[in-house]
């Protein structure tokens, strides 16, 4: 060893000898005192548990219109979490504007312009460009994925106020008037709901005059299925959770982010107590100690309505916790939803175990969609025969379709299960829009595939579309006409999946990105795209990557004229 190296070793081993040690300083990111005070003021006496992290990030975003590194560090310190944990969670969600050190501040007002398929068809892209060029200082204009207002496209969100059938003049007027808060629609409130017989069913159940087994038997006989997309029999799911050892929890999936879907928003805004009563009936059956409602952040009016109406519920029953999503489509997948409820990134879990076995906080958890529990009261009061008496073409029950695109009367359509697209358009939507000829349709939202108008006699229901490479999913129907470019429509949908991929698995993360690049070419390499679609379907962890190729494959299969 050299003498210099000997001395370095000596000084390290014997700090009291040799050169004088430099004064030590704290390691890691230091918490700014001002930021700490601001975080303490925001959090107040709220919980510091990990599952509140996303709620606390919302507090910062709402107050400061952005989230600085200083605030992240102060929040991490207060919640006893690593800065990296807080940073990775905040940057995972689209509605958190994390400003890194040295970056310019975010303007105080953000305008989000939906660019998903229905809004694209209604001129959303041109509106986005016009607004970017026309707004003044202090305003930021960004593109946004589906915001659940497809029937009134194009949709624009100014702050938290949505403008339907938006144009530049309406947006400028909202900015000038500082109209940035949600507008609450007319709602059946607690008094009106109770006056019409509401909560009597729940009361009977809690008193024991209506048995749990009667409720379960009725749901089984009616054949009510999960209406969020999976279609799993509701009664069987309740029995499965009920059969697991307690404690148990319940989670409501109100994160409908599928482009074309807006039915849950309609039910929550118009008749929230029918949803709440069905939810509480489910919680009673499985003996859930608490119910977590996960509501997508794009539904601020529904959130305000739920907070107002939940406060009026009589005492008793499980605790009800309302949580905000933060702009992540993947959190509509049930295990991603659970991760988000626990304050983490919404990455899908590997299965098994399934949520009914190991769910929220490691406990057996009943997960239902908003619409599924919304129908519970009607089915139990009117009977299984009433529900199953509806239907066409050999199907049973009722279906709620979210219809948008080239029809005269888009919107929510409650129809017999098994209607065909032709019946849906002609009988429930007033026919095709003026000047448009029916050419194609999406039977189940962005991931449900695209079928030609010639295939207009297929019953729209669970199990009827799969052999064609499609599915009904959440029953989001988008109607296209002879004036629409189907390759452009498929590209729009694939860009959505590219943006919304959580990035956990390579087949989805890289597959959607590669598919977009291939689909942007003037000439599609159909063989390569088909091979890529097979890999994504076979190897992706969750339904996002598995279903993302459906529109692409359908266009190549059913519309050869696009490639002539």
Which CATH number fits the domain that encloses residue 427?
3.10.20.600
462 and 433 housed in the same domain: yes
Binning the chain into helix, strand and coil, the percentages to the nearest 5 are 45, 15, 40
State the CATH number of the domain containing residue 288. Answer: 3.40.50.11540
Of 47, 72, 99, the position where a domain reaches its end is: 99
State the CATH number of the domain containing residue 548. Answer: 1.20.1440.230
The predicted pLDDT at position 53 comes to: 98
Q: Is residue 197 in a domain? A: yes
Q: Is residue 22 in a domain? A: no
The predicted pLDDT at position 515 comes to: 97
Q: How many domains does the chain have?
A: 5
197 and 294 housed in the same domain: yes
Of 177, 205, 228, the position where a domain reaches its end is: 177
453 and 491 housed in the same domain: no
Q: Within 10 A of 490 (CB to CB), how many other CB atoms are there? A: 26
Helices of type H across 287-329 = 300-310
- What is the residue range of 149's domain? 109-177
Distance, C-alpha 208 to centroid of its chain: 36
The CA angle 289-294-296, to the nearest 5 degrees, is 170
Q: Is residue 305 in a domain? A: yes
Q: Is residue 120 in a domain? A: yes
The predicted pLDDT at position 2 comes to: 43
Query: Rounded to an integer, what distance in angstroms lies between the CA atom of residue 123 and that of residue 165?
Result: 10
What is residue 143's three-state secondary structure? Answer: strand
471 and 525 housed in the same domain: no
State the CATH number of the domain containing residue 154. Answer: 3.40.30.10
The predicted pLDDT at position 483 comes to: 97
The predicted pLDDT at position 403 comes to: 98
227 and 303 housed in the same domain: yes
477 and 489 housed in the same domain: no
The predicted pLDDT at position 26 comes to: 55
Q: Is residue 69 in a domain? A: yes
160 and 303 housed in the same domain: no
Q: Is residue 27 in a domain? A: no
The predicted pLDDT at position 55 comes to: 98
Of 453, 482, 511, the position where a domain reaches its end is: 482
Note down pLDDT in tens along the chain; length 564 residues: 444 444 333 333 444 444 555 555 555 678 999 999 999 999 999 999 999 999 999 999 999 999 999 999 999 999 999 999 999 999 999 999 999 888 899 999 999 999 999 999 999 999 999 999 999 899 999 999 999 999 999 999 999 999 999 999 999 999 999 999 999 999 999 999 999 999 999 999 999 999 999 999 999 999 999 998 888 999 999 999 999 999 999 999 999 999 999 999 999 999 999 999 999 999 999 999 999 999 999 999 999 999 999 999 988 899 999 999 999 999 999 999 999 999 999 999 999 999 999 999 999 999 999 999 999 999 999 999 999 999 999 999 999 999 999 999 999 999 999 999 999 999 999 999 999 999 999 999 999 999 999 999 999 999 999 999 999 999 999 999 999 999 999 999 999 999 999 999 999 999 999 999 999 999 999 999 999 999 999 999 999 999 999 999 999 999 999 997
The predicted pLDDT at position 30 comes to: 86
Kindly report the average pLDDT of the chain as a whole number.
94
State the CATH number of the domain containing residue 92. Answer: 1.10.10
The predicted pLDDT at position 24 comes to: 52
Q: Do 267 and 275 contact (CB within 8 A), yes or no?
A: yes
283 and 236 housed in the same domain: yes
459 and 516 housed in the same domain: no
The predicted pLDDT at position 28 comes to: 63
Query: Rounded to an integer, what distance in angstroms lies between the CA atom of residue 512 and that of residue 494?
Result: 7
251 and 198 housed in the same domain: yes
46 and 134 housed in the same domain: no
Q: Is residue 442 in a domain? A: yes
Q: Is residue 358 in a domain? A: yes
203 and 130 housed in the same domain: no
């Amino acid at each position: 060893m050299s003498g210099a190296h000997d001395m370095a070793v000596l000084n390290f081993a014997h700090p009291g000898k040799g050169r004088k040690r430099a004064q030590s300083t704290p390691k890691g990111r230091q918490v700014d005192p001002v930021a700490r005070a601001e975080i303490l003021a925001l959090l107040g006496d709220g919980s510091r548990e990990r599952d509140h992290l996303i709620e606390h990030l919302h507090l910062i975003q709402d107050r400061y219109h952005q989230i600085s590194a200083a605030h992240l560090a102060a929040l991490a310190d207060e919640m006893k979490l690593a800065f990296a944990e807080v940073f990775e969670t905040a940057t995972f969600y689209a509605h958190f504007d994390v400003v890194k050190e040295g970056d310019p501040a975010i303007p105080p007002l953000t305008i989000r312009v939906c660019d998903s398929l229905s809004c694209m068809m209604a001129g959303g892209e041109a509106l986005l460009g016009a607004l970017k060029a026309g707004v003044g200082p202090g305003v930021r204009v960004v593109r946004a994925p589906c915001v659940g207002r497809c029937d009134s496209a194009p949709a624009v969100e100014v702050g938290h106020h949505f403008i339907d059938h938006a144009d530049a003049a309406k947006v400028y007027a909202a900015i000038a008037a500082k109209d940035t808060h949600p507008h609450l629609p007319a709602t059946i409130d607690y008094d009106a709901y109770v006056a019409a017989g509401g909560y009597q069913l729940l009361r009977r159940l809690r008193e024991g005059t209506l048995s749990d087994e009667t409720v379960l038997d009725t749901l089984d006989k009616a054949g009510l299925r999960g209406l969020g997309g999976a279609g799993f029999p509701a009664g069987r799911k309740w029995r499965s959770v009920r059969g697991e050892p307690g404690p148990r929890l319940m989670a409501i999936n109100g994160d409908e982010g599928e482009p074309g879907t807006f039915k849950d928003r309609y039910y929550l805004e118009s008749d929230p107590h029918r949803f709440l009563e069905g939810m509480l009936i489910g919680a009673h059956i499985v003996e859930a100690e608490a119910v977590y409602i996960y509501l997508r952040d794009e539904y601020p009016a529904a959130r305000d309505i739920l907070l107002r109406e939940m406060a009026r519920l009589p005492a008793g029953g499980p605790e009800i916790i309302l949580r905000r999503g933060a702009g992540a489509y993947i959190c509509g997948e049930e295990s991603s939803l659970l991760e988000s409820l626990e304050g983490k990134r919404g990455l899908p879990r590997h299965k098994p175990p399934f949520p009914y076995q190991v769910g929220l906080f490691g406990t057996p958890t009943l997960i239902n969609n908003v619409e599924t529990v919304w129908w519970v009261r009607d089915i139990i009061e009117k009977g299984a025969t009433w529900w199953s008496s509806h239907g066409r073409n050999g199907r049973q029950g009722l279906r709620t379709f979210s219809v948008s695109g080239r029809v005269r009367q888009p919107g929510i359509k409650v129809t017999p299960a098994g209607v065909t697209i032709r019946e849906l358009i002609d009988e429930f939507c007033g026919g095709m829009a003026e000047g448009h000829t029916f050419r194609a349709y999406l039977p189940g939202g962005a991931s449900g595939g695209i079928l030609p108008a010639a295939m207009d006699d297929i019953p729209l229901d669970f199990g009827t579309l799969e052999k064609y490479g499609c599915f009904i999913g959440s029953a989001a129907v988008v109607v296209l006409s002879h004036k629409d470019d189907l390759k452009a429509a498929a590209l729009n949908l694939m860009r959505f999946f590219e943006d919304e991929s959580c990035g956990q698995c390579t087949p989805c993360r890289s597959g959607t990105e590669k598919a977009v690049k291939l689909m942007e070419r003037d000439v599609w390499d159909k063989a390569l795209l088909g091979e890529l679609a097979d890999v994504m379907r076979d190897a992706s962890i969750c339904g996002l990557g598995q279903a993302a190729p459906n529109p692409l494959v359908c266009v190549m299969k059913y519309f050869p004229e696009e490639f002539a």
